[in-house]
Homo-oligomer: A and B are copies of this chain.
Amino acid sequence: MGVIERKEREREEMRQRIMNAARHLFLEQGFEKTSIRGIAEAIEYSPATIYLYYKDKNELLFALHEEAFLKMMAELSKVAAVKDPFERLIEMGNQYIKYALENPELYDLMFIMTAPMETLACRDEIWEDGMKSFCLLQAVVGQCVEAGYFEHDLDIETASLTIWSYMHGLVTIYLKNRMNMFGDDKQVERMSASYTLFIEMIRKGLKE
């Protein structure tokens, strides 16, 4: 009897329906204004039903957070097409900035909000999505070492953390409106100028 298989399938469909509504509302009106009740209304079910499919709001956010990582990893992986390792690193940074600016809410979910991380904490699991994308960066940094762009005894993990820190800092300063202290509309230009300087800094600063 395929009844339990069908039930399992129906369950997965419902989870998808909830996720679709959540993603939609989340991207449309931001996290702060998206409520369980709102999601419930969108799928025409009672708010309580959502709790039959997701433990709490954090788990729902965590699921969205995972989706967002798949999306970003897909974007970042495209840089494999760039032959030269250092050029590849530069392009990876560009893609990272592009993703952050085009998906500010998702970026928040992935790297700033603590709520989705609590789901991880209470299951005491490690943050695999973060680690996977960090490994993508580490790989390219490693290739830059191999190609002789960076000194051969460079600590790849430390260097990658340093590069990521810079990238993350730059985009969050912008996304969290801290760059409007300059009082003009040249914020994106400032980011570009900074990124260009940073590239020169690592080119000169990490070489043999």
Mask, A175-208, CB within 8 Å of B = 1, is: 0111011110000001001100110111111100
Q: How far is the CB of A143 from chain B (nearest CB, A)?
A: 18
Whether A130 touches B201, Cβ cut-off 8 Å, given contacts A158-B193, A165-B170, is: no
| A113: chain B residues within 8 A (beta carbon) | 176
Q: Judge whether A126 is part of the interface by a CB distance below 8 angstroms.
A: yes
Q: Which of A157, A180, A181 has the most CB of B within 10 A?
A: A181
Residues of A within 8 A of B (CB): 111-114, 117, 121, 126-128, 130-131, 134, 155, 157-159, 161-162, 164-170, 172-173, 176-178, 180-183, 190, 193-194, 197-198, 200-206
Q: CA separation between A194 and B126, bound complex, in Å?
A: 22
Q: How far is the CB of A195 from chain B (nearest CB, A)?
A: 8
| A111: chain B residues within 8 A (beta carbon) | 173, 176, 178
Q: Kindly list 4 other residue pairs between chains A and B, CB separation below 8 angstroms, not including A162-B201, A164-B169, A200-B205.
A: A117-B176, A158-B190, A162-B194, A165-B198
With CB as the reference atom, state the residue of chain B lying closest to A154: B197
Q: CA separation between A202 and B206, bound complex, in Å?
A: 10
| A128: chain B residues within 8 A (beta carbon) | 181
| A130: chain B residues within 8 A (beta carbon) | 178, 181
Among all A-B residue pairs, the 8 with the closest Cβ atoms: A169-B169, A205-B205, A201-B205, A165-B169, A168-B169, A127-B181, A165-B170, A130-B181
Docked-complex contact B173 and A165, CB < 8 angstroms: yes
